[in-house]
Amino acid sequence: MKPPYFVYTIRCRDDSTYIGLTSNFREELCRHRQGLIRKTKEKLPIRLVRLERYEKLHEAKFKVQILEAGYKQRLL
């Protein structure tokens, strides 16, 4: 059986948003908090604001696209 996929949204110290996709959420969140993820390491501390679970990778990728498109629309 394939592992589930997680789509998550993190709010950073500078109020920016990071959207990620992983099959091992706990490990990924630890890596963010330890400053091991390039895009968030200079923006610590972080706060988890959304977490969703998907059984199929294509569904998770589609959700990431929707979230990123919505976030970019709000910046305009």
The SS3 call for residue 55 is: coil
pLDDT (0 to 100) of residue 67: 93
Output 74 or 34, whichever has higher pLDDT: 34
Q: Kindly indicate the confidence band of residue 76, based on its pLDDT and cuts at 50, 70 and 90.
A: very low
Is the per-residue pLDDT at 1 higher than 80? no
Fold of 5-75: GIY-YIG endonuclease (3.40.1440)
Question: Domains of the chain: which residue ranges?
Answer: 5-75
**Cβ density class 9-39: b for 16+ within 10 Å, e for less:** bbbbeeeeebbbbbeebeebbeebbeeebee
Tens of pLDDT, residue by residue over 12-71, are 999 999 999 999 999 999 999 999 999 999 999 999 999 999 999 999 999 999 999 886
Query: Minimal CA–CA distance to 19: which of 75, 72, 76?
Result: 72
Question: What integer pLDDT is reported at residue 53 of this predicted model?
Answer: 97
